[in-house]
Amino acid sequence: MRNATITGWGKALPPLVLTNTDLEKIVDTSDEWITTRTGIKERRISHVEATDLATVAGRHALAAAGLEPDALDLVVNATCTPESLIPASASYVQAKLGATNAGAMDLNANCSGFIYALVTASAMVSAGVVDRVLIIGVEKLSYVMDLTDRSTCVLFGDGAGAVVVEPTDEPVGLAASELGVDGTVADILCVPEFGTVGSPGVRDPRRAGIKMEGPEVFRRAVTKMGEASLHVIAEAGWRPEEVDLLIPHQANQRIIDATARRLKLDPARVFVNIHAYGNTSAATIPVALTEALEQGRVKPRAKIVFAAFGGGLTWAAAALTWGDRVTPIATSDAQVPEPDRTVWDVLAPNLEFYGNQERSG
Ligand code: UT7
List, for residues 167-189, the tens digit of each pLDDT value: 999 999 999 999 999 999 999 99
CA of 99 from ligand 1 middle (Å) equals 42
Q: What atom in ligand 1 is closest to the CA of residue 154?
A: 48
pLDDT computed for residue 142 by the predictor: 97
CA of 38 to the centre of ligand 1 (A): 8
Residue 360 belongs to some domain of the structure? no
Q: What is the CATH number of the domain that holds 274?
A: 3.40.47.10
- Predicted pLDDT of residue 199: 76
Instruction: Compute the distance from residue 176 Cα to the ligand 1 centre, in Å.
Output: 33
Stretch 258-266: mean pLDDT, rounded? Answer: 96
Confidence of residue 358 (pLDDT cuts 50, 70, 90): low
d(CA 217, CA 314): 11
Task: Read off the pLDDT band of 361 (50, 70, 90).
Answer: very low
Q: Which of 111, 153, 252, 273 is catalytic?
A: 111
Instruction: State yes or no: pLDDT of 311 exceeds 90.
Output: yes
Residue 62 maps to a domain: yes
User: What are residue 76's DSSP bridge partners?
Assistant: 105, 135
Confidence class for position 356, pLDDT limits 50, 70, 90: confident
Q: How many domains does the chain have?
A: 1
350 has catalytic annotation: no
Residue 11 lies in a domain: yes
Domain span at 29: 3-355
Does any domain span residue 361?
no
For residue 201, what pLDDT band results from cuts at 50, 70 and 90?
confident
pLDDT at 340 over 80: yes
What pTM, to 2 d.p., does this model score? 0.97
